[in-house]
Copies of this chain bind each other. A is one copy, B any other.
Amino acid sequence: MKDKINLLLTISYCGSNYSGWQVQPNKKTIEGELEGVLSKLFNERIIIVGSGRTDAGVHALNAKANVILPKEFTLKNFYDEKDKFKKLITILNNFLPDDIKIKKIKKVSLLFNARKCAKRKTYVYKVKLFEKSPFEANRFYFLNKNLNVSHMQTCANILLGEHDFSSFCASKTSVTSFIRTIYSIKIKKTKNIVSFEICGNGFLYNMVRIIVGTLIECSLKNLNENEMKKILIGKNRNLAGKTAPACGLYLKNVVY
């Protein structure tokens, strides 16, 4: 490993035209596009390790991934003292499709793993009320009803802290523990956009989308915080609301 260098990438992508992050045969994926460009540039099979897998149609503002590259070749061709890895960023972005962009690259320890070392993740879910906008299709969940932000915030606060989130996990999952910690849920409304920002130490399959779907139902069906409590302690997916559509979800940040 002495001849290797480990780089941490910060990546933004619009997931609308992809079958999610993870490589799948005969499907266009974010990981597949990134590995394809890196493998051609370095003329060898390059594997990247993402901070997590996003589903089909889910976006990222600052996804993280690490990649182990040949040290000498990388530093000689794509690094200089002044601009650091700017040259590598420019070349990768030139080859990547317009809906995937490398924002930052920095050197990390060879022991760093973008998935295993993640301490907390923040997701944002965006709902646009009443007005559908053709050029923002698949960037928002369009809803033709109003939402009561303060009521949803009260219900959301029930979920803060460490809990068993079985009620908020899609049934097809292979995890052994459903215990997760949510550090914060901030719901705000700016003009006709309602955003849900959720930060936690990790998330179960579809957890953010089920939480948002349930909070929307709290507003539309006027369910109160006691009913939210019952959903949480019931540990049963059928108690919670619908899974909100993928197109409104953005991975905002990953902290190490």
Contact = CB atoms under 8 A, between A and B. Distances in A.
B14 A101 contact: no
B137 A94 contact: no
Given A94-B144, A144-B94, A101 B59 contact: no
Interface in A88-116: 93-94, 97-101
A125 to B, nearest CB: 15
Contacts of A12: 134
A118 B59 CA distance: 41
Contacts of A97: 137
Interface in A60-103: 93-94, 97-101
A14 B135 contact: yes
A50 to B, nearest CB: 16
Nearest to A135: B14
B98 A134 contact: yes
A121 interface: no
A13 interface: yes
A138 interface: yes
A31 to B, nearest CB: 15
Contacts of A14: 134-135, 137
A13 to B, nearest CB: 5
Nearest to A133: B101
Nearest to A98: B137
B98 A135 contact: no
A142 interface: yes
A4 interface: no
A98 B132 contact: yes
A144 B12 CA distance: 18
A209 interface: no
A98 B93 CA distance: 29
A14 B138 CA distance: 11
A99 B59 CA distance: 18
Contacts of A142: 98
9 contacts: A12-B134, A14-B134, A14-B137, A93-B132, A98-B132, A98-B137, A99-B134, A99-B135, A101-B133
Q: Which 9 pairs from chain A and chain B are nearest by CB? A: A98-B137, A99-B137, A14-B134, A99-B134, A14-B135, A101-B134, A12-B134, A13-B134, A98-B132
Interface of A: 12-14, 59, 93-94, 97-101, 132-135, 137-139, 142, 144
